[in-house]
Amino acid sequence: MVSRLALLSSMMLLLAVGTNAGGIAIYWGQNGGEGTLAETCSTGNYDFVNLAFLATFGNSQTPMINLAGHCDPYSNGCTKLTTDIKSCQAKGVKVMLTLGGAAGSYYLTSAEDAKQVATYLWNNFLGGQSSTRPLGEAVLDGIDFDIEGGTTQHWDDLARYLSGYSSQGKKVYLTAAPQCPFPDAYIGTALKTGLFDYVWVQFYNNPPCQYSGGITNLEDAWKQWTSDIPAAKIFLGLPASPTAAGSGYIPVGDLTSKVLPAIKSSSKYGGVMLWDKYHDDQTGYSSSIKSHV
């Protein structure tokens, strides 16, 4: 009887710990030396892989994906990724297409422009039909907004149009990577729509709200994001190595002993986002933190 009770209590403890266990999201695509997409998902470390980037779109431009050294979109060379995408999804990993980035050419001129971009994304990367799908026939799980330039307007329109496609069968997940100063300068309005499922906030390259030995600034910003943004889950976005960003890297020991214990009690805690797979390969960061996330 005693051993049965002990077993029961340990199972309940496991359940309690498990309920607030988070996942890891990773960015892949900007370094040919980071391994294939299939290899990335086979590590078992990641719950989300964000394909970075669709860097050119909007304002009547021909949309263009940029996956650096992985494949050449100009010769339809990225369609070979279909097999890898399906392999990831078969393992339960959600694969997102990331819009924007720090060096893209993207701009939305109007709500109509946003609608045209949404239609393009649906037909070429999601559940629609097109003869020119850059990644082949695989249907991605959704769209990630990493908007760091262009315009502050109409991202909410784009989110609404994309979300509307969820009614056509498979849910279109919407995620975003805003900077930690609140509200985000570019997609602050879009995030208020409540249409975003997961928001991985960039707590790096932003000294006022990132970790710098002391946790106060980060914790204050975290509380604001989790209380003011109507998303299902908020993730702590970090560089996977000291060289992955200008500032904001958190040593593994500090993350697991100081930072995560301070933020995991939030019901909106979703896990950790890392930039990026290449730097994670150099440090083994995701493997080191996975059991703590």
From the CB of residue 122, how many other CB atoms can be counted at a distance below 10 Å? Answer: 20
Say how far apart CA 225 and CA 221 lie, in whole Å.
Answer: 6
Read off φ and ψ for residue 119, nearest 5 degrees: -65, -45
Dihedral over alpha carbons 119, 120, 126, 132 (to 10 degrees): 140
Contact status, residue 154 vs residue 147, Cβ threshold 8 Å: no
48-57 and 64-65: which strand pairing?
Answer: antiparallel
Provide φ and ψ at 265, rounded to 5°: -70, -15
Calculate ∠ Cα 252-255-258, nearest 5°.
135
Catalytically active residues, by annotation: 148
Q: Do the Cβ atoms of 113 and 70 come closer than 8 Å? A: no
CB distance 121 to 100 below 8 Å: no
Residue 88, Cα to own-chain centre: how many angstroms? 15
- The alpha carbon of residue 142 and the mean position of all alpha carbons in its chain are separated, in whole angstroms, by 10
